[in-house]
């Protein structure tokens, strides 16, 4: 099964990778346009939820992912895909889910921004640490990745667009106010459309191997969302902030994971399917969780009245 997954013939070429890189860079530019001083001032005024969010994303989730892989022992390429997704920062659609699910939207934007900036270093570092701890028997060692090379790539598609976005915000504040919301939603729709087209182009292969990834991604995502919430509550964060932290932990930048997979792993089939299905499933999970939050609020309100 491992050889089948690694050698899947995916419809994805150099042009597709270029388009994906542009999509991710555009999303990061959109994130930067939303940045304001107040989002970073939370580090000083409310450090606990910010610290908890970073701890959940960059320490707890990668560690739990490693533990899950160790217990379930999936095919090595699937395991690497799971570790890579866990090493990526949160996705910006978490801001929307936090808003509609009764979370703290300002905190959500702050966590997305800070995690995105930290990801330039933390994504290559986390992937290197946790993947090196795996005993990937039979895995092609030609897929080993230099974390410095990954750092350079992540810097280009995250760091540079963030820098440009910050400069635009600083020097063109009126224009930024007009374009930041359209840019944010357009970038999300473009990425969603790209993933949809990629799935459709590879639908036959995906249907054939769907059973190998659906349970892993479902369980992995559930652990991400649940661990974020439980960690936040255990560190005495409010319910509102805990909802936001759970969503930030469960909504990952799987588009970045795909860029890394096709840039460094030759589009390895197992890794690509994990990241691509994460990109679809965490949207579904986000809607389910926010509906659960809304239902909980309504029940609580009904009891009070």
Specify the pTM: 0.81
**CA 154 – CA 127 distance, rounded (Å):** 12
Do residues 277 and 217 lie in contact, with contact meaning Cβ atoms separated by under 8 Å? yes
The CATH number that applies at residue 127 is: 1.20.1530.20
Q: How many domains does the chain have?
A: 1
Do residues 119 and 62 lie in contact, with contact meaning Cβ atoms separated by under 8 Å? no
Please give the C-alpha separations between residue 105 and each of 15, 99, 108, 110, 188, in angstroms, as whole numbers. 36, 5, 5, 9, 17
Domain, as residue range, for 32: 2-304
pLDDT in tens, 232-248: 999 999 998 999 999 99
Q: Decide: residue 133, CB within 10 A, 0-12 exposed, 13-18 middle, 19+ buried.
A: exposed
Torsion of CA 273, 276, 280, 283, to 10 degrees: 120
pLDDT in tens, 179-219: 877 877 777 677 677 667 766 766 676 777 677 788 999 99
* Bridge partners for 252 per DSSP: 90
pLDDT in tens, 141-186: 445 566 677 777 777 777 788 788 878 888 888 888 888 778 777 7
């Amino acid at each position: 099964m491992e050889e089948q997954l690694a050698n899947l013939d995916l419809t994805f070429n150099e042009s597709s990778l270029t388009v994906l890189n542009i999509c991710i860079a555009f999303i990061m530019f959109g994130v930067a346009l939303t940045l304001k001083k107040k989002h970073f001032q939370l580090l000083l005024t409310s450090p606990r939820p910010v610290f908890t969010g970073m701890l959940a994303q960059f320490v707890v989730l990668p560690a739990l992912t490693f533990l899950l892989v160790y217990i379930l022992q999936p095919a090595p390429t699937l395991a690497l895909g799971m570790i890579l997704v866990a090493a990526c920062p949160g996705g910006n659609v978490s801001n929307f889910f936090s808003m509609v699910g009764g979370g703290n939207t300002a905190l959500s934007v702050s966590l997305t921004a800070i995690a995105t900036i930290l990801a330039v270093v933390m994504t290559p570092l986390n992937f290197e640490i946790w993947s090196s701890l795996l005993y990937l028997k039979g895995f092609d060692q030609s897929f080993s990745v230099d974390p410095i090379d990954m750092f350079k790539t992540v810097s280009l598609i995250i760091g540079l667009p963030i820098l440009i976005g910050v400069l635009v915000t600083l020097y063109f504040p009126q224009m930024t106010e007009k374009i930041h919301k359209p840019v944010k939603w357009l970038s999300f729709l473009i990425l969603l459309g790209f993933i949809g087209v990629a799935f459709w182009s590879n639908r036959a292969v995906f249907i054939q191997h769907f059973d190998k990834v659906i349970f892993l991604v479902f369980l992995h995502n559930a652990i991400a969302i649940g661990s974020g919430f439980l960690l936040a509550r255990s560190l005495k964060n409010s319910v509102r902030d805990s909802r936001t932290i759970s969503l930030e932990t469960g909504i990952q930048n799987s588009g970045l994971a795909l860029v890394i997979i096709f840039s460094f792993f030759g589009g390895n089939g197992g890794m690509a399917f994990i990241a691509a299905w994460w990109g679809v499933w965490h949207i579904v999970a986000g809607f389910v969780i926010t509906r659960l939050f809304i239902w909980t609020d309504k029940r609580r309100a009904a009891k009070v009245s």
